[in-house]
Structure 1
Amino acid sequence: MITIAEFRLKVYLLKDIKVKDALENISKLLDSCLVTEGYDALHHTNQKKLYNFSSFYPLATGGIYEAGGIYSIIIRTLDHQVEKAFEKNLDKQYTVTLKALTLEKRIIKQKHLDEIFSLTPIIIKFRDEAYWRGHHSVITFEDRLKVGLIKKYNLLHDTKIDENFEWFNYMKITNKKPIGTTYKNVQLLGDKVSIKVADNKLAQDLAWIAVGSGLGEMSARGFGFTNFRYL
């Protein structure tokens, strides 16, 4: 059984933050905690990262999260070291744009999932193009999501599973146009999806890993943050 550590962090904004810049600003705050706890080397490895986070809530008005406002962030992880680091020090962190206020933790136990859906854009990178649409098929996009989750599964369980199984009954891309987000002064284009999860153990496990660590690439930067509905 897979369990997820979920944190709800309240932050105070020291400066205005544009919606497209929100994930980068949040990732800097989380990075400051991991550096404090000696896990800064985590981001210099090529292996999949087993944590993910949402953007600010409540939603911005006029495309700006306003200075002086208090917002909530949801952080989830499958990595016990990251969980301990956040639990110990995340509520003490600050950057030039954010100051952490309070932190609450809960453990989510695995249950049968009906649907998962992304709340932040999913990033899929290809070597030849910056964005997949117009160059690759939807099937390729779906396969890349599956392969990424299988890599996380293998990392989490220190194994290598047979990849020949159905992991969803239905997948829909819910945005009409690519969603732009800025990271390190580069605009990244992503998508949001809704997925009806297949009724087999591996499919359920992959969906649960998506909830705990995100869909697609750059999940440790807040992309592909995924919520869920039980059956």
Structure 2
Amino acid sequence: MTTLFFSEYEAGETGSPLVIFGAGGLGREVLLLLRQLNARHPTWDVRGFYDDQPPTTPTVAGLPYLGTAADLNATAEPLAVAVAVGSSASRAAVVGCLTSDKLTFPTLVHPQVEPDADQRITLGEGCIVQQGCLLTCDISLGRFVLLNLGCTVGHDAELADFCSLMPHANVSGAVRLGAGCYLGTNATVIQGVTVGAGSTVGAGAVVVRDLPAGVTAVGVPARAINSEL
């Protein structure tokens, strides 16, 4: 696994070819992120979009639709890939299908989320951190973690692979999110709570006690609606 410390964060080479997998709304938001990164430091030559569900038009936000995951695996040139898929499970499935050794998965962090050595933050490959996010210190993000607009992550938090935080989700200090957790818009997990792998926290819910794996929890305080909790 590629792990990046914020103290080691630096832009890639100028003109590096990159494609976006996911031709929907999140894909267009990731394209905006890439353009914002390029405005700060010209890095990415964004070639277009791949998706197993072709868009209704031949172009998306002015860039061409290039094909499916199978087409992407057949590339003859090295390509960086940003996986713009919001669902944790679907994102993991896409990454599992992208097996070509020509493909790499850069970590993309909005330029306003300034890297700072004193934060002691690690990020796995393929992470996407969008505009307005706030991360404090001693935080670990696994592979392909998505922090959508305006999320907060507190001290000593650990977010395992393929976690997804939707806009303005809040993770307090010392929280543990298992692999593939999904936090809806404005969801909150309070200090020291653990959420098991594959669980979903509904929009606006507040998690005040540990949740097991594989449940969906809603409300304030959050209660699992598909278990006996």
Q: Name the TM-score, length of structure 1 as normaliser.
A: 0.21
* Structure with a larger share of its residues in helix: 1
TM-score by length of 2: 0.22
Higher RCO, Cα 8 Å, sep 6+: 1
